[in-house]
Amino acid sequence: MSLMFSGIGVSRGIAIAPAYILHRDRVDVAATSLDKKGVTREVRRFRNAVNAARKQLLAVRDTIPDDAPEDISAFIETHLLMLDDGILSERPLEIIRQEGCNAEWALKLQRDSVIKVFESMDDPYLATRKDDVNHVIDRVMRILVNKDADTAEFDHDWRGQIVIADDLSPADTVIMQHQGVAGFITETGGQLSHTAILARSLGIPAVVGAYGIRRFIRANEPLVLDGTSGLVLGEADDGTVAHFRKGQRELKRKQRELGKLSTAKPITACGEKIALLANIEIEEDLKALKRTNADGVGLYRTEFLFMNRGDLPSEEEHIAAYKRVVRALKGAPLTIRTVDLGGDKETDIEPAHAASHNPAMGLRGVRRCLSDPRMFIPQLRAILRMSANAPINIMFPMLSNVAEVDQLLELLESVKSELRQKNIKFDEKIKVGGMIEVPAAAVTAAAFAEKLDFLSIGTNDLIQYTLAIDRVDNQVNYLYDPLNPGVLQLIRMTIEAGQKANIPITMCGEMAGDTRYTQLLLALGLRHFSMPPNHVLEVKNVLRQTDIKAIRRKVLTIASCTDAARQNALLDNLNATLDT
C-alpha cells in the first residue's frame, strides 16, 4: 500500500529514486559560566569557529562549475556576507564578555534575538530570510560542538537519491546537486527560502514543509517526488511509477519549449500587448530577470536597506543600491516601492513603537513613513535624484484613504522644491503610484486613480484583509482564496477605475505569477503583470495562447460564482485547453 505525503512543491520536476534519511537537527546547548581566562579562551574559540565556517563555504563555492548561472554562487556569497556581518560575528563576542558565558550560549542568545525580528515581519520574502540566519548559525554551532557541517553525511554519494532532511542550507543544496542528487524533501521551509529558490535555479525537484515525513519513510525506500504538486509517494505500485515516469518525459519536453519563449513578444492570441514585469529585491532576482527578458521591474522592495543595523540608511546608500539595479536593467523601467516597515517589523534603528495587538493593521507602510519623515525623506531624495538618468517610478505601499495620498504628494513636492533650489536634477514628470492592498482603497480606487499616475494591486494583503485571515496560520489558511467573489470584485473595481482614468493598473502579488489565474485576469482587464522573475516565461506562454474576447463571458461567470467547487471546476475547464 502506497504512503502519501503532502508538502509545498517549490521546484518543478519529478524524481523517482530511493530515499536517504539525513538526521542533522539543531544542536541543543546549555549555558556555562566562565572566569576571566575562560572568557578569553571562548572569544578565541568562537573566532576560530567562524573562520572554519568561512573556509567550508569557500570550499563549497569552489565546487560550482564555471559555466553555472551566476546567481547560484550568489547564494553562497550571501551566507559568507552574513558570516562577516557584525551581528553574527561580533555581537556574540560582546555577549561572551558581558555575560561571562560559553560561545555556544552566546551564539544561541544572538540567534534568538535576530530570529525574533525576522519572524515578526509581514513581508513573506523578508520573513523567510530567517532561514539563512539559521543556516549560517547552525554551521558555526556544529563546529563549536565538534559536529562539523561537512562530516559523514556529505562524504556519501548522493547520485540518484532523494534526500529527506529537517532543513537544508543553500550550501547543502549546491553540494547535493554537484553529486547528482535526484531531489530533496524537507520537513520545514517555504516557497521563498533561499534553498527553495536555489533548487529552482539548479533544476532540482524539491518539496518542503512535509512535516514528520522522516518518521514514516525508511532508508532506501523507493519514492516518487512531484515538485509541482508537493506530492510524495512511498511504496508506489508499478502502475503509479509508470504514470510519473511518463510525466517526467513530458515535463522535460515542456521545459525545452518554454526556454524558447525568452525572445518571444508577450502578445495574446488576439493581438494585445501585455507588460510582463518582475518583482525583485536581491541580486539573484536581477540575474533571473535577464534570463527571462522581462519588460522591467514592477516592484522593487527596499526594506533590506533598513534591516539589521543601528542607524538609518543614508541618501547615498539608497542611491548606491538603486544604481546597481538601474545598470542591470539597461533602460528598462524600474518601480521602487518606498519602505514598508512598521508595526511588528521593527528595526534596531530606534526604540520600537508601542506594540500592536494586530501588527498587520498597525503603524506600517506609508503610515509609518508619514509619522517618521527622517527615514522617508532620504529615500525620496535618492529616488528623485536617480530619476534624472533612468526611467524610474515611485510607488507608495499600504494606502487606505485619499488624505494619505494628499500628504504624500505634498511631502514629495517639498522634496522636489528643495532639490530645485540646490540645482539637483531629477525627472520633473516622474510617475507616482500607489498600492491597492486594503479593501477600502479598492472600493474607492476611482478616487486614487484621479490623483496618481498608476495603481498596483497587492493581492497578498488584499486577499488577507478582505477575508480576515492570515495565510501563514495553519488553522485558517485554507480560507485563503484568490477566487473568492469578493476578492475578484475588488480586483475588477480597481482595474475598471484605472481604465476610466486612463492610467495603468498592475498586479504585483503572487496571483499575478500563478498561471492558473492568467486567463481570468486578462479577461478582467489586467494588462500589466509583475511577478517573481522565474514565473515570467510561464505566464507569457499562457497569455500567448489566450483569446481574451473568446473567454470573457466564461470568466464573468467564474467571477460571479459563489459555489467554490463549481467555480474551481469552471476555471479548470477554462484552462484545460492550454499547453502548459
Rg (CA), the chain: 25
What cell does 502 get? Answer: 486612463
Between CA 392 and CA 396 the distance in angstroms is: 13
State which H helix or E strand residue 414 sits in.
helix 402-421
| Strands 3-6 and 183-186, bridge-based pairing | unpaired
Phi then psi for 345, rounded to 5 degrees? -95, 60
DSSP at 101: B
Number of H helices, E strands in the chain: 23, 16
Between CA 409 and CA 417 the distance in angstroms is: 12
Between CA 138 and CA 119 the distance in angstroms is: 17
What residue type is assigned to position 150 of the chain?
D
- Please report the DSSP string for 356-413 in residue order: PSSGGGSSBTHHHHHH-HHHHHHHHHHHHHHTTSS-EEEEE-S---HHHHHHHHHHHH
What residue type is assigned to position 411 of the chain?
L
What residue type is assigned to position 259 of the chain?
G
CB 458 within 8 A of CB 298: no
CA 573 to chain centre: 30
Phi then psi for 56, rounded to 5 degrees? -65, -45
SS3 of 264-282: the string is: CCCECCCCCECEEEEEECC
SS3 23: coil
Of the candidates 79, 135, 194, 535, the residue annotated as catalytic is 194
508 annotated active-site: yes
What residue type is assigned to position 376 of the chain?
F
State which H helix or E strand residue 22 sits in.
none
What residue type is assigned to position 40 of the chain?
T
What cell does 475 get? Answer: 488553522
CB 526 within 8 A of CB 511: no
Of the candidates 79, 508, 528, 535, the residue annotated as catalytic is 508
Between CA 428 and CA 425 the distance in angstroms is: 9
Whose CA is closest to 512, among 503, 524, 500? 524
Alpha helix (H) ranges present in 423-509?
Answer: 439-443, 445-451, 459-467, 485-501
Point out the residues that are catalytic: 194, 508
